[in-house]
């Protein structure tokens, strides 16, 4: 086994890893989790608006 065999095996391993990661990221099982994570930046705004309403300020 020479260096070119090792390079070929590492390329195949990385390609399989990349394809697996793409399937994992776009699977329908993960959609709900990713949608929730995508809305996290807006959760702070909702909490801030709720707090302002409780304190009687409405900016």
Cβ-Cβ contacts under 8 Å for 25 (sequence gap 6 or more): 34
- Quote the pTM value: 0.57
How confident is the model at residue 13, as a pLDDT?
98
Query: CA–CA separation, 59 vs 52, rounded Å?
Result: 8
How confident is the model at residue 58, as a pLDDT?
55
- Interval 22-59: pLDDT, tens: 999 998 888 888 888 888 888 776 666 666 677 666 55
Query: CA–CA separation, 55 vs 58, rounded Å?
Result: 9
How confident is the model at residue 50, as a pLDDT?
66
The answer to whether 30 and 24 are in contact (CB under 8 A) is: yes
How confident is the model at residue 40, as a pLDDT?
83
């Amino acid at each position: 086994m020479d260096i070119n065999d090792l390079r070929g095996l590492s390329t195949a391993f990385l390609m399989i890893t990349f394809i697996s990661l793409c399937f994992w990221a776009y699977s329908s099982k993960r959609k709900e989790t990713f949608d929730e994570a995508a809305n996290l930046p807006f959760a702070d705004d909702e909490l801030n608006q709720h707090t302002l309403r409780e304190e009687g300020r409405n900016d």
